[in-house]
Each structure stands twice: as C-alpha cells, then as structure tokens.
C-alpha cells in the first residue's frame, strides 16, 4: 500500500525520501503515513523493480539529495491499483476500545477521558480547517477549480474534516448521555450503586449477539 502512496506523490513531482517523509505529515498523511525508516528501504525496492528512478542531486552545503521519479512502469502499476476495488476495511480505534471498557472506571475519569479526547480532535479539526483555508487562498475554492488534482485533494480533505466533526459530536453526545445515565441510576437505587462501576463489581452478562 505504502508503495502506491509514494508512487502517487512522485507522479506529482520528483521527490527525495526526506521530501516524502514531509508529505506524509499533511495532505496524503490524513489517510496514510510512514516513517523515514520505512520510506528509504521502500524507495530502494521500487527502484530495483523499475517503478522509480533515482538521480543524485549534489548541493554545495546541504547533504546530497537523491531525487526519485516515477517511471512509465510505475505509473502503470499505480493506475492498475487504482482500478481495483478496495475492501471495506475495519479501522482500529484505541479510544473506542477503552470506551467499551469504561464501566470499569469511575464515571468522572471516564468523562475526563472523553473530554480530553474531544479536545485533541478539535485541535486536529482546526488544523484541517487551516489547511483548507490555505488551499483555497492559493488555488481557489472547490467550486471554481478546473484542476482535477486540486479537486480530488479538496474532496479528501473535506472527508477528514467531516470525520473529525462526527467524532467531536459523538463526544458531546456521549458526555450528555453519561450525565443523564448517572442521574437516572443515582435516583433509582440511591447510594448503593454510586455510578457505573469500580474495580470490584461483578458482572456475568450474556454476550451480545452481534452476528
């Protein structure tokens, strides 16, 4: 997979391993990332397979760069990959995994975790909005561009924004639900069950039948 992300970036413009590393911090980085320790060996492999070519670009002061360019064969493979239908993939989400187990935490701690995570997502949403603003300032809005590269870039960025908004909305909703839940359970059986758990509580619930 990584190879295709690299090939796509090289199609836009020849780049060094170092340049690629930076690309994975923004734009394409919303959907795929890699460390330099993974990028450099992958570039070698791509070169040995004839999908990219390298050329050394010496610079007087800085270290010599190796600029990689995509080959015709590389572009072919990239396009062929694009034509394949991707499977529905299942993401992993550590926060939600924890949330699944929050009945073991005292309610205040659980709420704090959610609130904290909300703040992280809000920060990322802001940085996405900032990115969107910059793209629009440079290249014009989605509605006016005639460049397909810009167009698809804007679409994917929009997805990243929609995703963050959904996450934040869920956090708000979850916090509200928890507030209601605590009020309800407190009034139903008083002090004896002060909230939603603690380590000592015993549960032998039937599993959910989720196909």
Partner DNA sequence: GGGAGCATGTAACCTGTTACATGATTTT
Partner DNA sequence: AAAATCATGTAACAGGTTACATGCTCCC
* Residue numbers at the binding site for DNA (CB under 7 A): 1-2, 16-19, 21-22, 33-38, 40-41, 43-44, 59, 61-66, 92
Among 80, 60, 65, 103, smallest CA distance to 8 is for 80
Q: Which is nearer to DNA, 85 or 184 (CB)?
A: 85
210 in contact with its own copies (CB under 8 A) = yes
If you search the block for the tokens 């993401």, which residue do you land on?
A: 91
- Which phi-psi region, left, alpha or beta, contains residue 9 (left: φ > 0; alpha: ψ -120 to 50)? alpha
Per-residue contact string for residues 1-20; x = within reach of its own copies by CB under 8 A: x--xx--x--xxx-------
User: Smallest distance from the beta carbon of 138 to its own copies, in angstroms?
Assistant: 8
φ/ψ of 150, rounded to 5, equals: -60, -45
* Whole-Å CA distances, 163 to 35, 116, 152: 24, 17, 17
Torsion of CA 44, 48, 54, 56, to 10 degrees: 70
Q: Which is nearer to its own copies, 43 or 150 (CB)?
A: 150
d(CA 58, CA 19): 15
The CA angle 150-162-181, to the nearest 5 degrees, is 170
Give the count of residues interacting with its own copies (CB under 8 A): 103
Work out what residue 137 binds among DNA, its own copies, none; the CB cut-off runs from 5 to 8 Å by kind. Answer: none
Q: Which two tokens stand for residue 198?
A: 């603690």
Work out what residue 62 binds among its own copies, DNA, none; the CB cut-off runs from 5 to 8 Å by kind. Answer: DNA
d(CA 116, CA 41): 37
User: Smallest distance from the beta carbon of 79 to its own copies, in angstroms?
Assistant: 6
Q: Which is nearer to its own copies, 54 or 161 (CB)?
A: 161
63 in contact with its own copies (CB under 8 A) = no
Q: Which is nearer to its own copies, 53 or 185 (CB)?
A: 185
190 in contact with its own copies (CB under 8 A) = no
Given the rule CB under 8 A, which of 37-45, 52-60, 61-69, 155-163 is the region that contacts its own copies? 155-163
């Amino acid at each position: 997979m990584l190879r295709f992300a690299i090939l796509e970036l090289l199609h836009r413009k020849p780049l060094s391993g170092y340049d690629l590393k930076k690309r994975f911090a923004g734009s394409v980085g919303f959907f795929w990332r890699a460390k330099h320790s993974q990028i450099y060996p992958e570039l070698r492999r791509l070169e040995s397979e004839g999908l990219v070519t390298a050329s050394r670009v010496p610079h007087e002061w800085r270290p010599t760069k190796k600029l990689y360019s995509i080959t015709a064969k590389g572009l072919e493979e990239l396009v062929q990959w694009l034509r394949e239908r991707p499977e529905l993939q299942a993401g992993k989400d550590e926060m939600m995994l924890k949330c699944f187990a929050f009945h073991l935490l005292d309610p205040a701690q659980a709420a704090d975790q959610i609130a904290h995570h909300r703040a992280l997502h809000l920060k990322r949403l802001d940085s996405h909005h900032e990115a969107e603003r910059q793209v629009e300032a440079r290249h014009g809005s989605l509605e006016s561009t005639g460049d397909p590269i810009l167009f698809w870039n804007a679409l994917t960025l929009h997805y990243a924004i929609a995703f963050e908004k959904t996450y934040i909305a869920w956090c708000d909703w979850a916090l509200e639900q928890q507030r209601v839940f605590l009020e309800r359970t407190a009034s139903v059986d008083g002090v004896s069950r002060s909230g939603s758990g603690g380590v000592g509580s015993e549960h032998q619930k039937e599993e959910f039948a989720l196909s």
